[in-house]
Amino acid sequence: MRAYYFDNIPGDQRLPHDSGRAVSSDTLTKLGVLQWSIPVENYEPHIDEIARKRGYKNRDTINVTKEGLGEAYESKIKTFFEEHMHEDEEIRYILSGSGFFDVREFQTDEWIRVHVTPGDLLVLPAGIYHRFTLDEANAIKALRLFQDEPKWTPHNRSELTDANVFRKQYLGSVGAQVTATA
């Protein structure tokens, strides 16, 4: 898994957009982003152990390809790339293919791009602004883990999501000054 600052140059979202400024694992950890590298061969016991320790009770597999998503492919790719947050952790273990998760660094509001490939396990905390896109290979297959019933409800960035309790909890957890709302 490789992380760096997004270059913000207009163009195909599936291109690397590498600014040349690397981001360390420590920086990701400070943002609450967790990562593991687990070989795909015989991954189940390792994933099961992490799931047990972190309380992930459910899982499914998503195949983000034109074939896997059918007619919904183009609209899903656009939806995934809209800046949003979730009220639950987002947990993905990459089985095949590759793609990019972009996360907002709250201090600077810059995008950090994380390139995920087979064997990468990424956990995004509830409340972090992020987005996802495929890379130029146009295919990814990922195991999704959930703490409760499987759901994927994006809350697009807005004044409403800025005031969302999960967003405020996230900001508090990473040391940001959070103002109370009436």
Per the annotation, where are the binding residues?
A: 84, 86, 90, 130
Strand partners, 60: 144
Residue list for the binding site for Fe(2+): 84, 86, 90, 130
Rounded Cα distance between 91 and 114, Å, is 14
Q: In this structure, how many other beta carbons lie within 10 angstroms of the beta carbon of residue 109?
A: 8
Residue list for the binding site for Ni(2+): 84, 86, 90, 130
Q: Which residues contact 155 (CB under 8 A, 6 or more apart)?
A: 84, 85, 86, 87, 161, 164
Q: Is 179 left (phi over 0), alpha (psi -120 to 50) or beta?
A: beta
Does residue 181 contact residue 163 with C-beta atoms inside 8 Å? yes
C-alpha distance across the termini of the chain, in Å: 41
Rounded Cα distance between 59 and 53, Å, is 15
Does residue 93 contact residue 86 with C-beta atoms inside 8 Å? no
